[in-house]
Structure 1
Amino acid sequence: MLDRIDIVNLALIEDIHIDFHEGFNVLSGETGAGKSIILGAMSLLMGEKADGSLVRTGASEASVAAMVSIAQNHSILSTLVDKGIAPEDGSLLIRRVVKKSGRGSIYIQSIPVTRSDLSEISDVLFDMHGQHEHQSLLSSDRQRRVLDSYGNLGEDLQAYASEYRILEELHQEYLRVQQELAQASKEEDYLSFVVEELEKAQLKSNEDEELEAEIGVLSQYETIHESLELVHDNLKNSTGEGAVNTLALAVQAAKKAARSDISLEELSSRLETSLLEVQDIAESIRDRLSTMSFSQARLDELQSRLAQLQRLKKKYGPSLEAVISFRDASKAKLQQSSVADDYMHDLSKKIEVQETLVGQLGLRLRDKRIAAANRLQEQIATRLSHLGMPHVVFSIDITERQRTVHGSDQVDFLFSANLGEPKRSLKEIASGGELSRVMLAVKTVLAQDDDVETLVFDEVDAGIGGAVAIAVGEQMAELATTRQVIAITHLASIAAKADKHFVVHKETDAGRTFTKIRPVENDERVQEIARMLSGHGNDEKAIAHARSLLS
Structure 2
Amino acid sequence: MLAELKIENVAVIEKAEVQFTPGLNVLTGETGAGKSIMIDSINAILGNRTSRDLVRSGAPKARIWATFESIPAHVREQVEKCGYGAQDDLLLYREISADGKGSCRINGMPATAGVVRDISAGLLTIHGQHDSTSLTNPATHLALLDQYAQDGTEYAAYHALYRALVTAKRALDALTSSEEEKQRRIAELSEEIDTIDAAALTAGEEERLMERRKVIMHAQGILDGLTAAHQALSGDDSGEMMGAADLLGSVVNELAESARLDESLAPLSERLSDLYYGARELATDLADRLDGYDFDPGELDQIEERLDQIYRMKQRYGASVEELLTRRDKAAEELEGYQSSGKRIAELTQRKQELYRQTKAAAETLTQARLKAFTSMNRQMREALEFLNMPGVRMVLRHQRGPLASAGQDNIEFLISTNPGEEPKPLAKIASGGELSRIMLAFKSALADKDAISTVIYDEIDTGVSGLAAGRIGQKLKQTASGHQVLCITHTPQIAAFADNQLLIEKKVRDNRTFTEIHPLDLDGRVQVLARMISGDKVTDLSLANARELIEKSQG
Instruction: Provide TM-score, normalisation by structure 1.
Output: 0.73
Give distance in 2, aligned partners of 1:329 and 1:540: 86
Seen in structure 2, the aligned counterparts of structure 1 residues 266 and 490 have a Cα distance that, compared at 3 Å, is: closer
| Equivalence for 2:425 | 423
Give the alignment partner of residue 37 of structure 1, picking from 34, 37, 43: 34
Give distance in 1, aligned partners of 2:114 and 2:225: 78
- SS of the residue aligned with 2:26? strand
Contact 1:72 1:90 in 2 (8 A): no
Give the alignment partner of residue 307 of structure 1, picking from 304, 308, 311: 304
Contact 2:458 2:486 in 1 (8 A): yes
**One-letter amino acid of the structure 2 residue matched with residue 460 of structure 1:** D
Contact 2:508 2:516 in 1 (8 A): yes
| Equivalence for 1:438 | 439
Q: 1:413-492 counterparts in 2 under 5 A?
A: 413-418=414-419, 420=422, 423-425=425-427, 431=433, 433-452=434-453, 453-458=455-460, 460=462, 462-466=464-468, 468-489=469-490
Contact 2:462 2:470 in 1 (8 A): no
Contact 1:23 1:485 in 2 (8 A): yes
Q: 1:64-463 counterparts in 2 under 5 A?
A: 66-69=66-69, 71-74=71-74, 89-93=88-92, 95=94, 107=104, 109=106, 125-129=124-128, 131-132=129-130, 143-171=141-169, 184-185=185-186, 187-199=188-200, 205=205, 208=209, 211-212=212-213, 215=216, 234=235, 250-255=251-256, 257=258, 267-278=268-279, 280=281, 299-317=296-314, 322-323=320-321, 326-327=324-325, 329-340=327-338, 341=341, 342-399=343-400, 403-418=404-419, 420=422, 423-425=425-427, 431=433, 433-452=434-453, 453-458=455-460, 460=462, 462-463=464-465
- SS of the residue aligned with 1:487? strand
**One-letter amino acid of the structure 1 residue matched with residue 540 of structure 2:** H
**One-letter amino acid of the structure 2 residue matched with residue 436 of structure 1:** S
1:444 CA displacement: 1.4
1:157 CA displacement: 1.2
Seen in structure 2, the aligned counterparts of structure 1 residues 538 and 517 have a Cα distance that, compared at 3 Å, is: farther
**One-letter amino acid of the structure 1 residue matched with residue 418 of structure 2:** A
**One-letter amino acid of the structure 2 residue matched with residue 24 of structure 1:** L
1:287-324: CA deviation from partner (whole Å, max 9, x where unpaired): 777x5696xxx714533432332122212249xx9436
Give distance in 1, aligned partners of 2:275 and 2:418: 115
Seen in structure 2, the aligned counterparts of structure 1 residues 550 and 307 have a Cα distance that, compared at 3 Å, is: closer
Contact 1:477 1:498 in 2 (8 A): yes
1:23 CA displacement: 0.7
Seen in structure 2, the aligned counterparts of structure 1 residues 416 and 304 have a Cα distance that, compared at 3 Å, is: same
1:211 CA displacement: 4.7
1:481 CA displacement: 0.9
1:364-406: CA deviation from partner (whole Å, max 9, x where unpaired): 2122212212331232123212212124333344455775543
| Equivalence for 1:498 | 499
**Count of residue correspondences:** 534
- SS of the residue aligned with 2:310? helix
- SS of the residue aligned with 1:482? coil
Contact 2:64 2:95 in 1 (8 A): yes
Give distance in 2, aligned partners of 1:265 and 1:44: 91
- SS of the residue aligned with 1:3? strand
Seen in structure 2, the aligned counterparts of structure 1 residues 181 and 36 have a Cα distance that, compared at 3 Å, is: farther
Give the alignment partner of residue 536 of structure 1, picking from 517, 530, 540: 540
Give distance in 2, aligned partners of 1:282 and 1:390: 114
- SS of the residue aligned with 1:42? helix
1:425 CA displacement: 3.9
Seen in structure 2, the aligned counterparts of structure 1 residues 457 and 263 have a Cα distance that, compared at 3 Å, is: closer
- SS of the residue aligned with 1:455? strand
- SS of the residue aligned with 2:331? helix
Q: Percent identity?
A: 22
Q: Answer yes or no: is 1:22 the counterpart of 2:26.
A: no
**One-letter amino acid of the structure 2 residue matched with residue 164 of structure 1:** Y
Larger deviation, residues 137-146 vs 370-379: 137-146
Give distance in 1, aligned partners of 2:80 and 2:248: 86
Contact 2:27 2:505 in 1 (8 A): yes
1:496 CA displacement: 3.9
Seen in structure 2, the aligned counterparts of structure 1 residues 275 and 63 have a Cα distance that, compared at 3 Å, is: closer
Contact 1:374 1:396 in 2 (8 A): no
Contact 2:161 2:355 in 1 (8 A): yes
Contact 1:429 1:435 in 2 (8 A): yes
Larger deviation, residues 165-174 vs 384-393: 165-174
**One-letter amino acid of the structure 2 residue matched with residue 41 of structure 1:** M
1:126 CA displacement: 2.4
Contact 1:444 1:479 in 2 (8 A): yes
Give distance in 2, aligned partners of 1:79 and 1:135: 34
- SS of the residue aligned with 1:446? helix
Give distance in 2, aligned partners of 1:222 and 1:543: 112
Seen in structure 2, the aligned counterparts of structure 1 residues 258 and 476 have a Cα distance that, compared at 3 Å, is: closer
1:155 CA displacement: 1.6
Contact 2:314 2:320 in 1 (8 A): yes
Contact 1:455 1:486 in 2 (8 A): yes
Contact 2:33 2:505 in 1 (8 A): no
Seen in structure 2, the aligned counterparts of structure 1 residues 413 and 202 have a Cα distance that, compared at 3 Å, is: closer
**One-letter amino acid of the structure 2 residue matched with residue 456 of structure 1:** Y
Seen in structure 2, the aligned counterparts of structure 1 residues 434 and 540 have a Cα distance that, compared at 3 Å, is: closer
Give distance in 2, aligned partners of 1:264 and 1:49: 88
Contact 1:161 1:406 in 2 (8 A): yes
* C-alpha RMSD of the superposition: 5.2
**One-letter amino acid of the structure 2 residue matched with residue 455 of structure 1:** I
Larger deviation, residues 179-188 vs 363-372: 179-188
Give distance in 2, aligned partners of 1:271 and 1:51: 83
Instruction: Provide TM-score, normalisation by structure 2.
Output: 0.73
Seen in structure 2, the aligned counterparts of structure 1 residues 150 and 542 have a Cα distance that, compared at 3 Å, is: closer
Contact 1:45 1:94 in 2 (8 A): no
Give distance in 1, aligned partners of 2:222 and 2:514: 105
Rg larger for: 1
Contact 1:27 1:35 in 2 (8 A): no
Give distance in 2, aligned partners of 1:257 and 1:93: 90
